[in-house]
Amino acid sequence: MRWEDREQSDNVEDRRSSGGLGGNFSGGGRGMPSMGTIMFLWPLVKPLLKTKFGWAIIGMGAVAYFSGFNPLSAITKGGSPSIVNQKADDKQARFISTVLHDTEEVWKSIYKEHGSTYREPKMVIYRGSTTSGCGHASAQMGPFYCPADEKVYLDLGFFDELAKKHNASGDFAQAYVLAHEIGHHIQNMEGTLNKVQKMKQQVRGEKDANKLQVRVELQADCYAGVWAHHAHKRFNILEKGDIEEALRAASAIGDDTLQKQAQGYVVPDAFTHGSSEQRVTWFKKGITSGDIKTCNTGL
């Protein structure tokens, strides 16, 4: 996917450093470390305060930290990027911010054509865990959209899992994931999410509620395809193999595929996102037509 040296979105909350050990993809140094970080480091810092040499180490560390280099990441445990991969992590943040900008431009244009105004959502990038308007967010949950605060929550570690665990690597596979979540924002703006929530309260049993949720997710896949169609026309983003990356990702996170991996068999009544075939089909509909009218999944 062609994305380097293009405009990034301003609607990004970078919480990778909420634990004090994350990155800053804007490249302009760091803010003050969080109270959690200070408490974590205090047992290490306290002995250094007793000697001049210790104070010198603290001073050098502070200068390095506020210059944008993270001298502490060598001692982090889990989740947070290390010194070795910090540049890669920052590049990942810049990439996904660029994709977010592309979604903004495309959906603003589509809404303008229909005589309406697109309301830009925020994207929160983090590693490990954070809080959202919909409750606790963690890496185990995967990316999600919260209609309560109109934000997409994205643990960058999910992309590592997508590549290693689900064999769905590639930058456009990652772009598809974000575009799908933005699809939920479109549904929120259109009132679809509220409508489905009311419908769920009227149906009997989890089986019927799941069927409604599948329709929601497949429509978001279709919206992701619509975005890709227009983004390529506008920014010439697609390179050879990109569409295959997105289709492979859509297939890899289909309910039937995930159930087979987890338990060895498939339970269709428990589907909440759709089968691999369904997800691929609806993404194809969107990217082929570029028309949101083709994304009618019966909601």
What pLDDT is stored for residue 64 in this prediction?
A: 61
Strands (E), 67-220: 122-126, 129-132, 135-138, 144-146, 151-155
pLDDT in tens, 74-129: 444 444 444 337 888 889 899 999 999 999 999 999 999 999 999 999 999 998 88
pLDDT exceeds 90 at position 286: yes
Are 22 and 14 in contact by the 8 Å Cβ rule? The answer is: yes
- Choose the most confident range, by mean pLDDT, from 178-182, 202-206, 262-266: 178-182
Are 271 and 288 in contact by the 8 Å Cβ rule? The answer is: no
Residues 208 and 197: their CA atoms lie apart, in Å, by: 12
Angle (CA) 207-213-214 rounded to 5° is: 90
What pLDDT is stored for residue 29 in this prediction?
A: 45
pLDDT exceeds 50 at position 149: yes
What pLDDT is stored for residue 160 in this prediction?
A: 85
Average pLDDT over residues 175-189: 96
Q: What are the structure tokens assigned to 77, written together?
A: 């445990």
Average pLDDT over residues 142-151: 94
What pLDDT is stored for residue 80 in this prediction?
A: 43
Longest dimension (CA), the chain: 71
For residues 101, 103, 105 and 108, what is the CA-based torsion angle, rounded to 10 degrees?
-130
What pLDDT is stored for residue 56 in this prediction?
A: 76
| pTM greater than 0.95 | no
Instruction: Choose between 19 and 155: higher pLDDT.
Output: 155
Residues 252 and 221: their CA atoms lie apart, in Å, by: 13
pLDDT in tens, 36-73: 444 445 566 667 677 877 677 767 776 665 555 555 44
Instruction: Choose between 178 and 47: higher pLDDT.
Output: 178
What pLDDT is stored for residue 23 in this prediction?
A: 41
Across the chain, mean pLDDT equals 83
Instruction: Choose between 158 and 178: higher pLDDT.
Output: 178
Are 99 and 171 in contact by the 8 Å Cβ rule? The answer is: no
pLDDT exceeds 80 at position 20: no
Q: How confident is the model at residue 28 (pLDDT cuts 50, 70, 90)?
A: very low
What pLDDT is stored for residue 33 in this prediction?
A: 52
Q: How confident is the model at residue 157 (pLDDT cuts 50, 70, 90)?
A: confident
